[in-house]
Amino acid sequence: GDSVTQMEGPVTLSEEAFLTINCTYTATGYPSLFWYVQYPGEGLQLLLKATKADDKGSNKGFEATYRKETTSFHLEKGSVQVSDSAVYFCALYSGGYQKVTFGIGTKLQVIP
């Protein structure tokens, strides 16, 4: 079945540091890949997505590239801010009538 593996965290970074959160997946066919973010006290919201190999999703300074050869979709940001502190979930959708499959979530804490 489909699965998503991401680093467990928590990840603690100083403001303006570089962020990478690793995500790898197992899926049938060619899934679409997503990063969702959950800020404290809020629901999950879609951060970015990529629907085919070599696509790069980007939003709010975050980027992730769909790497089919390594089955990865790592999340990166060049300079994190305190306001980026949240839990980040990698997810995939395999197409047809399928459910969205999520990873365990990675908690990011950015300190001033």
For the bound state, the minimum distance from the C-beta of residue 22 to other proteins, rounded and expressed in Å, comes to 15
Quick check: 23 and 6 in contact, CB under 8 A? yes
Distances in Å between the Cα of 112 and the Cα atoms of 18, 19, 60, 62 are: 14, 15, 19, 19
CB of 28 to other proteins, least distance (A): 15
Among 105, 106, 108, 110, indicate the residue that binds other proteins (CB under 8 A): 105
Comparing CB distances to other proteins, the nearer of 51 and 109 is: 51
User: Which of 94, 52, 31, 19 is CA-nearest to residue 7?
Assistant: 19
Neighbouring C-alpha atoms within 13 Å toward the C-beta of 103: 30
In the complex with other proteins, the residue whose CB is nearer, 73 or 105, is: 105
DSSP 8-state code for residue 67: B
CA R_g for the chain: 13
Q: Does 17 bind other proteins (CB under 8 A)?
A: no
Q: Looking at 4, 23, 64, 86, which residue binds other proteins (CB under 8 A)?
A: 4
Contacting other proteins within 41-60 (CB under 8 A): 41-46, 49, 51
Residues that bind other proteins (CB under 8 A): 4, 8, 32, 36, 38, 41-46, 49, 51, 89, 93, 95, 97-105
